[in-house]
């Protein structure tokens, strides 16, 4: 019997494929094992966050006060026209951007810090009363942002006291508006000076014409022109022309005096009757008056129900003050529009 020797290789175990991920049961078991750790870390995180918030609020608070300045189109418009001239969006945004740059420039910040109300604040004292440190702080925390799609410039200030933040913002707005008003008054004063020079020139021409008339009368002895109707002497014709020129110069001088008087009234203040008439017809003022009356009635009801120190009563009172301030700003805007309109009318009459 033949024996066949056969080589047998050892069998190799097949690789076991690992599970692709944890099953929900395993995940739940892990959470049960570490439940105390998860709860402890959550509570610890809440305590650390609340403690940090409390310490920052108490020792390093930050408040931001924001206000807005409405910027009109950079052209002179007539408020009596129903279809005012349209200005492109890019031109209006460029005008707002230039004004925002003017507000944030170094000289404006220095004038702001030099004001007495700013020097008396705790914010200025914390800067060691150093103007350079205060200006450096304002450059970082005083934001002036011109809106691209709106007609407003947003001014905001961030510091550790909310009242002082609002004070700094209000002082910046007052400083900017005062500087703009000073420039307008300088323009009016310059126009008045030019008109005064022109009036003096007309007066000199009138005096020269009067002296020429007196010289003609004295040289030729012309005292009565009514008796010589049948003959028109060349000297008489010249005399008539001179008298006509004299009358024209007198009329021009009187007209210039009226224009100068009108410009002086524009420089000193608005015309009360025109402003009152315009305010009564202004839809924004009418809406604000209606809102003010509504809020005052709501305030009366809240006072009867809750008293003066309730939170809702104070909120309504603040809103009423805001409406009154908006009404005052709108009235000032209407007065400025009338002033510019009257100024343009006087200028047009002067050119004619």
Q: What is the pTM of this model?
A: 0.41
pLDDT digits (tens, 9 = 90+) for 224-277: 545 455 556 677 778 888 888 888 888 888 887 777 676 666 555 555 666 677
For residue 236, the model assigns a pLDDT of: 75
For residue 30, the model assigns a pLDDT of: 84
For residue 55, give the 3-state DSSP assignment. helix
pLDDT at 14 over 60: no
Fold for domain 62-75+85-181? Bacterial polysaccharide co-polymerase-like (3.30.1890)
pLDDT, average across residues 209-233: 69
pLDDT, average across residues 326-341: 81
For residue 242, the model assigns a pLDDT of: 87
Residue position matching structure tokens 């010249």: 238
- The beta-strand segments (E) located in 90-205 are 142-146, 152-159
pLDDT at 53 over 60: yes
CB 104 within 8 A of CB 144: yes
Average pLDDT in the chain: 79
Query: Could you tell me the residue ranges of all domains in the chain?
Result: 62-75+85-181, 273-352
DSSP-derived secondary structure letter, 23 = -
For residue 221, the model assigns a pLDDT of: 67
For residue 66, the model assigns a pLDDT of: 92
pLDDT digits (tens, 9 = 90+) for 64-77: 899 999 888 877 66
For residue 278, the model assigns a pLDDT of: 77
More confident site: 277 or 5? 277
The Cα 113–Cα 120 span in angstroms is 10
More confident site: 144 or 279? 144
Share of the chain above pLDDT 90, in %: 6
pLDDT at 8 over 50: no
CB 242 within 8 A of CB 213: yes
CB 205 within 8 A of CB 249: yes
pLDDT at 154 over 90: yes
What is the band of 1 on the pLDDT scale with cuts at 50, 70, 90? very low
**Angle of helix 272-281 relative to helix 283-306, nearest 10 degrees?**
70
Instruction: Output b/e per residue, 183-202; b: 16+ Cβ within 10 A.
Output: eeeeebeebbeebeebbeeb
pLDDT at 316 over 80: yes
What is the band of 171 on the pLDDT scale with cuts at 50, 70, 90? very high
For residue 276, the model assigns a pLDDT of: 75
pLDDT digits (tens, 9 = 90+) for 86-113: 778 888 888 889 888 988 888 888 988 9
> How far is residue 121 from each of residues 36, 130, 190, measured CA to CA in Å?
51, 13, 39
pLDDT at 126 over 90: no
Angle at 130 between CA 126 and CA 136, to 5 degrees: 85
Q: How far is CA 200 from the centre of its chain?
A: 40
For residue 60, the model assigns a pLDDT of: 65
pLDDT, average across residues 17-43: 78
For residue 145, give the 3-state DSSP assignment. strand
Residue position matching structure tokens 């509504």: 294
Is the Cα dihedral 161, 167, 172, 175 positive or negative?
negative
């Amino acid at each position: 019997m033949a024996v066949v020797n056969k080589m047998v290789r050892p069998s190799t175990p097949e690789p076991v494929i690992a599970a692709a991920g944890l099953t929900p049961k395993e995940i739940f078991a892990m959470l049960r094992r570490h439940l105390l750790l998860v709860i402890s870390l959550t509570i610890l995180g809440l305590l650390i966050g609340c403690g940090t918030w409390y310490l920052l609020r108490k020792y390093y608070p930050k408040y931001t006060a924001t206000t807005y300045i409405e910027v009109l189109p950079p052209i002179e418009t007539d408020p009596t026209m129903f279809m005012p001239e349209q200005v492109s969006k890019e031109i209006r945004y460029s005008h707002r951007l230039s004004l925002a740059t003017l507000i944030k420039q170094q000289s404006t910040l220095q004038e702001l810090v030099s004001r007495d109300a700013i020097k008396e604040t705790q914010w200025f004292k914390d800067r060691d009363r150093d103007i350079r440190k205060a200006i450096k702080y304002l450059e970082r925390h005083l934001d002036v942002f011109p809106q691209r799609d709106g007609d407003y410039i947003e001014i905001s200030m961030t510091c550790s006291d909310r009242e002082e933040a609002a004070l700094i913002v209000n002082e910046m707005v007052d400083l900017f508006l005062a500087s703009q008003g000073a420039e307008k008054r300088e323009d009016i004063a310059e126009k008045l000076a030019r008109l005064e020079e022109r009036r003096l020139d007309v007066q000199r021409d009138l005096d020269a014409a009067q002296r020429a008339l007196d010289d003609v009368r004295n040289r030729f002895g012309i005292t009565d022109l009514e008796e010589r109707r049948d003959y028109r002497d060349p000297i008489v014709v010249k005399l008539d022309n001179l008298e006509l020129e004299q009358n024209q110069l007198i009329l021009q001088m009187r007209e210039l005096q009226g224009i100068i008087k009108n410009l002086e009234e524009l420089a000193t203040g608005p015309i009360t009757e025109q402003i009152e008439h315009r305010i009564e017809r202004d839809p924004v003022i009418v809406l604000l008056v209606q809102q003010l009356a509504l809020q005052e009635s709501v305030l009366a009801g809240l006072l009867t129900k809750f008293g003066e120190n309730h939170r809702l009563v104070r909120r309504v009172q603040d809103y009423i003050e805001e409406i009154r301030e908006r009404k005052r700003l709108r009235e000032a805007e209407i007065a400025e529009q009338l002033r510019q309109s009257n100024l343009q009318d006087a200028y047009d009459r002067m050119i004619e």
